[in-house]
Amino acid sequence: MTIETIEVEGLATPVSRIGLGTWAIGGWMWGGTDEKDSIAVIRRALDSGVNLIDTAPAYGFGASEEIVGKALADGYRHKAVIATKVALEWQDGKVFRNSSPARIRHEVEDTLRRLRTDYIDLYQVHWPDPLVPIEETAAVLNDLRKEGKVRALGVSNFSPAQMDAFRRVAPLSTTQPPYNLFERDIDRDVLPYVKQHGLVALAYGALCRGLLAGRIGVATSFEGDDLRQHDPKFRAPRREQYVAAVKALDVFARDNFDKSVLALAVRWVLDRGRTIALWGARRPSQLDGLEAAFGWRLDDKAFAQIDAIVAQFVKDPVGPEFMAPPQRLLAA
């Protein structure tokens, strides 16, 4: 299988255009995890040519990074481009934004220990912190880059204006926004910015929390702390609309490309520009069909037909805003 790659400024190794997303591997907000399966899925991804592993300290309060570190032991580290994040803190199971230099300095050492590595390929600010000037955050990250602890810098959930502020102080290689064929806000501003400045966009939620994998129905239930219990897309009456759209998109994909809706959803992200699709998986079997995303393309006619299908069925669209963590209280 030949996996498409893309060059990312600051990284010597070309990066696979599908990256393994490991939020669910951390267990938190996804109903738990299985470490053995998680290690197996990371190694399968690497053996398949997917070299980008995207993680974060907040994914399971360190659990995801620890599992990634274990998976990359025994000779796998050289195969991986590790993308992790910084600037969230947690207390009593609640997450808050904190991109202060002191917090970043503390976090990077914990992250390196959990990942069992002496450098991070791509270090991303997880969410902008309105209590800390972006320039201060960028400056300490640039220091980490100069010290060799970080190879390249990225941001996540930043607007173009916020990226401008960051770039005035430090080199910026990537941005990570939510993006899939149901959630397209970045088409208006972030994607044009990416193209203009030669960045790469890592699209998280490329399968829209599993909705675009084609296996979630109207009656599918979610247990434990699974965030989809609180996702407006998975509540009536919206769920019926989105499930109907997925079924119609699956028919379209099979009739026109002999592909599944999952392959269509990933290809849609890849054909929107300088993009990488983050594919979340917790078990090796959830990587089945990886190769189906490559070797074909969507043209303008196909994009228009997809738009028409979504508009036909989704009458009450909603974005991913429910996932945004709160800022710290001023007294904290």
Active-site positions read 59
Contacts of residue 165, Cβ cutoff 8 Å, sequence gap at least 6:
133, 134, 135, 138
Phi, psi torsion values for 20, nearest 5 degrees = -85, 120
- Per-residue DSSP letters for 220-284? ----TT-GGGT-GGGSTTHHHHHHHHHHHHHHHHHHHHS--HHHHHHHHHHTTSSEEEEEE-SSG
Contacts of residue 233, Cβ cutoff 8 Å, sequence gap at least 6 = 182, 208, 209, 211, 239, 242, 318
Tokens 């069909």 map to which residue?
Answer: 289
Q: The tokens of 178 are what? A: 């939510």
52-54 and 18-21 as β-strands: parallel, antiparallel, unpaired? parallel
